[in-house]
Structure 1
Amino acid sequence: MKKYWLIAAILLLSIAFGSSVQAEDKEMYVDVSVATLWSEPDQARDLDAPSLSNPVDMWEWTESMTYEEKKWLVGELQTQALYGQKVTILEEQGDWVKVAVDGQPTPKNELGYPAWMPKDQLADQKRYSVLKEKKSFALVTAPTANIYDDRIKSQEFKEISFNTRLPVVAQTGSMVLVATPSDGMKWVSSDHVSIYKNEEDIPNPDGEDVIETGKQFLGLPYLWAGASGFGFDCSGFTHTIYKAHGITIPRDSSVQAEHGTAVSKDNLQKGDLLFFAYEEGEGSVHHVGMYIGDGQMIHAPNSESTVEIIDVFESDYYSSEFAGARRYID
């Protein structure tokens, strides 16, 4: 009897103090176009509501924010996860869950990048998980793409991001039938996707390939922690571009700077990643961009700007903070 009283007391204390519950490592799937993950639960502002719902409205959210409102997100957000992407639940607290995002390497957790998101933005569908394991996948290659309820595209279902991967059920004419985490089968134009049997089936890119992919996003506004066609931060941009070409690199710039192959400034090739650090390049890494040749770099700079190309070594700021380069393409 004492045992049961002790268990009851622990549960009551947990409820009373609102403590989080450690969850078993349960795998689930993102059920919104883009899930935005937070440093802590329940930290969002009222204006962040479009990013916290199911479905989300990413354009309403990002385009409604002022510079100061975007700048506030620095440190509050951690990363993003895409529609249909697998996450592992690590912890639960009320309507929020702490998850590890599969495919985003980090020293923070071996299962993936850890952060908090609303629980109702996830789906637990066994059939979808089986299809994801067994079927070929459609990889979105356009900055964003619409998926539809029907093959003739009379009813739009959802706008999804570049690098989203959904299991392929069938192909017919110019349309591809894909599986979704919780809404059955939907249609996407074949012009907006490439189909692969598995990750290894993605062709090995060269520098020109990753550069051309990156240039699709010129003019896209920066978003702290962004890793989608709705907005990128600096390392979200490089991570996602490489990921879409079948190369998985760490999620954060500081960790990207520790992997790959070190390259000297005199030996730069197209597609190499350039890193920048505080204390005139001697301190901690805080920024990354992609070298595109002729002394130029494409990057997502900061909350008041967009994806752009600059003459990197003619910039007093960037040239003074250059901290080295890494090559991830063989």
Structure 2
Amino acid sequence: MTDRRLTPDPALITEKTTAQIATPVCDLRRSPAGPRDRQLLFGEIVTVLNTTDGWTYVQADKDGYCGFVQTTAISAADAATHRVSAPATHVYAEPNIKSPDQTSLSFGSLLCVTATTGNFAETSAGFVPLTHLAPQGTYASDPAAVAALFLGTPYLWGGNSRWGIDCSGLVQAALLACGIPCPADSDIQSAICNPAVGPYQRNDLIFWKGHVAIVSDPDTILHANGHSMSVAYEPLTAAINRIAAQGEGSVTAHRRF
């Protein structure tokens, strides 16, 4: 059986055109106006497969996920030169912190920088502080440190941004920022990881049914969770006991990329 998340519906394919996300964040939906499966960020590349009645069926370049986005959320693709490496950034009308801020972008958003003025990068969206950007092709080395950038971010089912993120979205953001390919949902993440041998160590992944956490140190995990409704640290043993007491089962897998 094919996985609808990763396999485009052949009955819906009428074209294959490269485009990009043109809004700070947009929902990738299971059906037009249907439930959110994931989210896509500004500048992320998609393949347009079909457009009907204001909804566009796409497949995301970063992880192969398929779904529907509002047609107004996409535009012609630019060649991204940089990504947002700060938890979030503002986009200004001019290269001046006192100029009007036009929008905000989350960690991981992609931009095509066409020029620099002082401490600002000029992009199609406006001016972005250079200190909040990293060149495409440069990567972080510590997924747990990347995940910590999201501390305090509100929990959001299917979320992928600084405005709201869930457990698997946090893991994906952390690993992609380190140049490690990563799917978007915890069941697929668990399936492609290597079984871990020995004690828990930093950057291991711990899975429960429907949940994943990153190991910060042998006694502590970092995860987006519905208990605190945020991205937070939690003692490992306490988390294992709490999740079991809630009737959500025991740890199902200990994995290592």
Asked whether the equivalents of residues 224 and 303 of structure 1 are also in contact (C-alpha less than 8 Å), the reply is no
**1:242-321 correspondence to structure 2 within 5 Å:** 242-264=175-197, 266-277=198-209, 286-302=210-226, 305-314=229-238, 315-318=240-243, 320-321=249-250
Asked whether the equivalents of residues 22 and 92 of structure 1 are also in contact (C-alpha less than 8 Å), the reply is no
Look up the match of 2:130.
190
**1:1-330 correspondence to structure 2 within 5 Å:** 22-43=13-34, 76-104=35-63, 112-124=64-76, 128=78, 131-132=79-80, 137-153=81-97, 154-180=99-125, 186-196=126-136, 199=137, 201-203=138-140, 205=141, 209-264=142-197, 266-277=198-209, 286-302=210-226, 305-314=229-238, 315-318=240-243, 320-328=249-257
Asked whether the equivalents of residues 220 and 307 of structure 1 are also in contact (C-alpha less than 8 Å), the reply is yes
Asked whether the equivalents of residues 16 and 48 of structure 2 are also in contact (C-alpha less than 8 Å), the reply is yes
Larger radius of gyration: 1
Look up the match of 2:7.
none
**Superposed structure 1 runs of 4+ greater than 4 Å apart:** none
Asked whether the equivalents of residues 146 and 159 of structure 1 are also in contact (C-alpha less than 8 Å), the reply is yes
Task: Count how many residue pairs are aligned between Structure 1 and Structure 2.
Answer: 241
Letter matched to residue 39 of structure 2? Q
- SS of aligned partner of 1:213: helix
Letter matched to residue 287 of structure 1? H
After alignment, is 168-177 or 94-103 more displaced? 168-177
Q: C-alpha distance in 1, partners of 2:227/2:68? A: 22
Letter matched to residue 260 of structure 1? C
User: For each residue in 1:266-300, what CA deviation from the matched residue of structure 2 results, as whole angstroms up to 9, or x when unmatched?
Assistant: 332201111112xxxxxxxx110100113211101
Following superposition, the deviation at residue 122 of structure 1 comes to 0.8
Q: C-alpha distance in 2, partners of 1:222/1:122? A: 25
Asked whether the equivalents of residues 158 and 166 of structure 2 are also in contact (C-alpha less than 8 Å), the reply is yes
User: For each residue in 1:22-51, what CA deviation from the matched residue of structure 2 results, as whole angstroms up to 9, or x when unmatched?
Assistant: 4211111111000111111134xxxxxxxx
Letter matched to residue 23 of structure 2? V
Letter matched to residue 152 of structure 1? N
Shift in alpha-carbon separation, 1:225–1:247, aligned structure 2, 3 A? same
Structure 2 length-normalised TM: 0.86
Letter matched to residue 74 of structure 2? L
Asked whether the equivalents of residues 201 and 218 of structure 2 are also in contact (C-alpha less than 8 Å), the reply is no
Shift in alpha-carbon separation, 1:202–1:94, aligned structure 2, 3 A? same
- SS of aligned partner of 1:97: strand
Unaligned runs of 5+ in 1: 1-19, 44-75, 105-111, 181-185, 278-285
Q: C-alpha distance in 2, partners of 1:312/1:177? A: 44
Cα root mean square deviation, aligned: 2.0
Unaligned runs of 5+ in 2: 1-10
Query: Kindly, what percent of the aligned residue pairs are identical?
Result: 26
Following superposition, the deviation at residue 304 of structure 1 comes to 6.6
Asked whether the equivalents of residues 203 and 214 of structure 2 are also in contact (C-alpha less than 8 Å), the reply is yes
Letter matched to residue 91 of structure 2? I
Q: C-alpha distance in 2, partners of 1:156/1:317? A: 42
After alignment, is 140-149 or 168-177 more displaced? 168-177
Shift in alpha-carbon separation, 1:160–1:289, aligned structure 2, 3 A? same
Following superposition, the deviation at residue 229 of structure 1 comes to 1.0
Q: C-alpha distance in 2, partners of 1:327/1:37? A: 28
